C-alpha cells in the first residue's frame, strides 16, 4: 500500500496569494510528467518533446510552483 501525502503549499491556489510570481523556463529535457503533457500509448510513456514552461508560484501564503507547458505548435 502506498501513502500519498500533500502539504498545505500543494493544496493552496496561487491566485489566492497576496503575491503571484509568474516565470518562464526552458524545459527541453522535461519528460512531460510535471507539466501534464506526457501520456501513455501502447504501455509506453510518450514525451512531449522540447518545450517551455510557464511557472506560477504564490507567496503570502506560499504555494507549490505550478508548471504549464508551452509547446512549439502553440506559439
Look up the domain containing 39 and give its range.
13-74
Residue 7 lies in a domain: no
Residue 45 lies in a domain: yes
- Residue-level pLDDT at 53: 95
Domains identified in the chain, total number: 1
Residue 42 lies in a domain: yes
Residue 46 lies in a domain: yes
Looking at every residue in the chain, the average pLDDT score rounds to 90
Residue 5, pLDDT above cutoff 60: yes
Residue 19 lies in a domain: yes
Band (pLDDT 50/70/90 cuts) for residue 46 is: confident
Residue 73, pLDDT above cutoff 60: yes
Burial of 67 (0-12, 13-18, 19+ CB in 10 A): middle
Residue 6 lies in a domain: no
Nearest CA to 31 out of 5, 50, 10, 58 is that of 50
Give kind and range of the element (H or E) at residue 9. helix 8-11
Amino acid at each position: 500500500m502506498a501513502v500519498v501525502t500533500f502539504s498545505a503549499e500543494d493544496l493552496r491556489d496561487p491566485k489566492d496569494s497576496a503575491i503571484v510570481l509568474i516565470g518562464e523556463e526552458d524545459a527541453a529535457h522535461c519528460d512531460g510528467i510535471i507539466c501534464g503533457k506526457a501520456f501513455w500509448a501502447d504501455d509506453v510513456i510518450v514525451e512531449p518533446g522540447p518545450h517551455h514552461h510557464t511557472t506560477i508560484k504564490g507567496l503570502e501564503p506560499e504555494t507549490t510552483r505550478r508548471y504549464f507547458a508551452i509547446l512549439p505548435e502553440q506559439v
